[in-house]
């Protein structure tokens, strides 16, 4: 039985449509829900550190003293857990593939000071 299945698969591969694309010339649309790289919106980040505490591979660092947020994309496993636990929704997954890299670099983002709202005097 296994020989016939192998023959069927071989013949369909020989005479069928190719499964791969000519990548540089033809690009394929990314599938719905693709987990790409993490992106921070610094205007809404409050530097609470929830993303850092919940990251399973410790790829995120939050430094309140210097008001910086950093991610090591080489260590990130793109599980999206940091984006789901962010209370302000500052982290999002970009819907495209992450480019391969040979350098281990951290992306460091400066987070601006938030304007404090004055309490109502009423």
Residue 121 has pLDDT above 90, yes or no: no
Domain containing 78 — which CATH number?
Answer: 3.30.70.3270
Domain count, the chain: 1
58 vs 104 pLDDT, higher one:
58
76 vs 17 pLDDT, higher one:
76
Phi, psi of 112 (to 5 degrees): -70, 160
Does some domain include residue 21? no
Q: What angle do CA 116, 119, 120 make, to 5 degrees?
A: 140
pTM over 0.75: no
- Computed over every residue of the chain, the mean pLDDT equals 85
Looking at the chain, the whole-number percentage of residues with pLDDT higher than 90 is 46
Does some domain include residue 119? no
Q: Which of 48, 101, 50 is closest to 73 using CA atoms? A: 101
Beta bridge partners of 39: 92
């Amino acid at each position: 039985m296994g020989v016939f299945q192998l023959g069927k698969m071989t013949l369909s591969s020989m005479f069928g449509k190719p499964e791969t694309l000519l990548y540089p010339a033809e690009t394929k649309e990314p599938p719905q829900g693709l987990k790409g790289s993490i992106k921070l919106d610094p205007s809404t980040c409050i530097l609470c550190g929830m993303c850092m505490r919940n990251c399973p591979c410790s790829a995120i660092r939050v430094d309140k003293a210097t008001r910086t947020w950093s991610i090591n994309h080489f260590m990130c496993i793109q599980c999206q857990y940091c984006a789901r636990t962010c209370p302000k929704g500052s982290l999002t997954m970009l819907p495209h593939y992450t480019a391969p890299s040979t350098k281990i670099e951290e992306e460091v983002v400066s987070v601006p000071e938030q304007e404090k709202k004055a309490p109502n005097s009423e």
